[in-house]
Amino acid sequence: MKNQTIEPSRSVGTFNVYKWSKYPSYSVLAGQDCKQYLDGFDSLEEAQAAYPEAEVIGHRVNPCNTFDHLEDEDGHLGPSPHDKEYGTDPQSQYERYD
């Protein structure tokens, strides 16, 4: 994936442009994907004209970041037993979401 993407927005027929990078070392998400909103457009053509180097993707993309490297309240590393209960189990998250 390029460092900029054009993706459909939640509003039908409109498009958003995002910048992709990695979270810095001081972040709790250090080294994981960082997706930042740059701009929104009423058409794909307008988005491509403004950001010609951006990769066009036909669906919205989720960075799928995790907190598995952090200790939970009991001092354990990895997924919390509560993850499945609250729907944040990393196994249930997908890169693509519509």
Strands, E, within the chain: which ranges?
4-8, 15-22, 33-41, 55-56, 60-61, 96-97
Percent of the chain residues topping a pLDDT of 90: 41
Nearest to 38 by CA among 27, 51, 52: 51
What confidence category does residue 29 fall into, taking pLDDT thresholds of 50, 70 and 90? confident
Instruction: Give the burial class of 71: count Cβ atoms within 10 A of its Cβ; 0-12 exposed, 13-18 middle, 19 or more buried.
Output: exposed
Higher per-residue confidence, 36 vs 88: 36
Above 80 in pLDDT, residue 3?
A: yes
Q: Model confidence over 44-55: pLDDT tens digits?
A: 999 999 999 999
Q: Where are the domains of the chain?
A: 4-97
- Of 14-23, 31-40, 65-74, 78-87, the one with minimum mean pLDDT is 78-87
